[in-house]
Homo-oligomer: A and B are copies of this chain.
């Protein structure tokens, strides 16, 4: 239950006054956040936006990592997704954010006003298509996440490691930005089960674990087989 320390190294409000850079808007929608966005920084565990707040901005991770989450009725936290450099998050169809978002560690993001993109999409069908396409990819991602949650602990952890390997570096050696608690809340497990499963995978020669956040995939075949 939210063991994490609630230190917010950057005071946040929704005027987002701490923008540090601004480039001239040229054209394009979501794919052109680079050219029309402002850059912002958030410290570790800083809240970027909260569930239910107006979805005024769309974000793209430049460096660092972000988690989105919901607090369930019984106090547990379910993480909806991890967003790594290059990933876009915070784009909603409706007026409000469905999940909260926090920086996992220090993060730099590009920010664009949602209204700017939506306005563009009203004139430029190509932009509208990009919005649709983005939400479609997000849908696919959540569908896969859903499928994860009906598997065994071993399968969930194995799938998670394969996913992170692909997204972080594409190689077998990965440096996890998130804590065991984050992983547990993403996979719908407890921190103890995640930890135990990791050591189990080590003893099965499937992974190496030189340090708790540094993981080496030794036998992706075994991991993939677990995946189903």
Contact = CB atoms under 8 A, between A and B. Distances in A.
A150 B74 CA distance: 11
Interface string A49-86: 00000000000000000000010111010101000000
Nearest to A139: B139
Nearest to A226: B73
A138 to B, nearest CB: 6
Nearest to A145: B146
A137 B139 CA distance: 10
Contact of A74 (B125, B140, B228): B228
Nearest to A185: B150
A34 to B, nearest CB: 21
Contact of A72 (B80, B142, B228): B228
Contacts of A210: none
A28 interface: no
Nearest to A128: B128
Contact of A125 (B70, B121, B136): B121
Contacts of A142: 139, 142-143, 146
Contacts of A123: 125
A122 interface: yes
Interface stretch (A5-13, A90-98, A170-178): A90-98
B76 A150 contact: yes
A98 B150 contact: no
A143 to B, nearest CB: 6
A129 interface: yes
Contacts of A78: 146-147, 150
A227 interface: yes
A-B interface, 7 closest residue pairs, ranked by CB to CB distance from nearest: A73-B228, A93-B136, A128-B128, A150-B188, A149-B149, A132-B132, A146-B146
Interface of A: 70, 72-74, 76, 78, 80, 92-94, 98-99, 121-125, 128-129, 131-133, 135-140, 142-143, 145-147, 149-151, 188, 227-228
